[in-house]
A and B are shown apart, each in its own frame.
Chain A
Amino acid sequence: MEVPILKQGDYLIASIQSALTDADLTQLRVSLGERVGRFRSKGVIVDVTALDVMDSFAVRTLRDLAHTTWLRGAETVIVGIQPDVAFAMVQLGLTLKGVATALDLEEGLEFLDRQLKGRSGRRG
Chain B
Amino acid sequence: MTPKQRNTPEPPELVVNSDETSALLRELVAHLRQNRTQLREDWARRITRAALLTAMTEEEIFAEATSVYDNYVEALATGTFEALQAYARNLSERIIPRGVETHEVVGIVLLLRDVLARSLFAKYHEDFTKLNRILDAYEPAANRIANTVAVGFVQERERVIRQQQEAIRELSTPVLQVRERLLILPIIGVIDPQRARQLTEQLLRAIRANRAKVVVIDITGVAAMDSNVANNLVQTVEAARLLGATVIVTGLSPEIAQTLVTIGVDLSEMATVGDLQGGIEEAERLLGYKVGPLSEVTPQS
Contact = CB atoms under 8 A, between A and B. Distances in A.
B191 to A, nearest CB: 16
A83 B235 contact: no
A95 B240 CA distance: 10
Contact of A103 (B201, B235, B238, B243): B243
A97 to B, nearest CB: 8
Contacts of A82: 208
A103 to B, nearest CB: 4
Interface in B201-219: 201, 204-205, 207-208, 211, 213
Interface string A35-79: 000000000000000000000000000000000000000000011
Contacts of A103: 207-208, 211, 213, 243-245
B297 interface: no
B242 A90 contact: yes
A89 B244 contact: no
A83 B238 contact: no
A84 B242 CA distance: 11
Contact of B208 (A78, A83, A89, A108): A83
Interface residues of B, number: 18
B243 A101 contact: yes
Contacts of B207: 83, 103
Contacts of B204: 83-84, 86-87
B115 interface: no
A91 B235 contact: yes
A87 B201 contact: yes
A79 B238 contact: no
Q: Which of B207, B240, B241 has the most CB of A within 10 A?
A: B241
A82 B205 CA distance: 9
Contacts of B200: 87
A101 B242 contact: yes
A102 interface: yes
Contacts of B208: 82-83, 103
Bin chain A's interface residue count: 20 to 34
A108 B240 CA distance: 15
B229 interface: no
Contact of A87 (B211, B213, B239, B241): B239
B84 to A, nearest CB: 46
Interface string B225-241: 00000000001101111
Interface string A94-122: 01100001111001100100000000000
A90 B238 contact: yes
A16 interface: no
A1 B242 CA distance: 25
Given A83-B204, A83-B207, A103-B208, A89 B239 contact: yes
A90 B207 CA distance: 16
A33 to B, nearest CB: 23
A18 to B, nearest CB: 20
B287 to A, nearest CB: 12
B42 to A, nearest CB: 62
A104 B245 CA distance: 11
A83 B205 CA distance: 6
A87 B238 CA distance: 9
Interface of A: 78-79, 81-87, 89-91, 95-96, 101-104, 107-108, 111
7 contacts: A81-B243, A83-B205, A89-B242, A95-B241, A95-B242, A103-B207, A103-B208
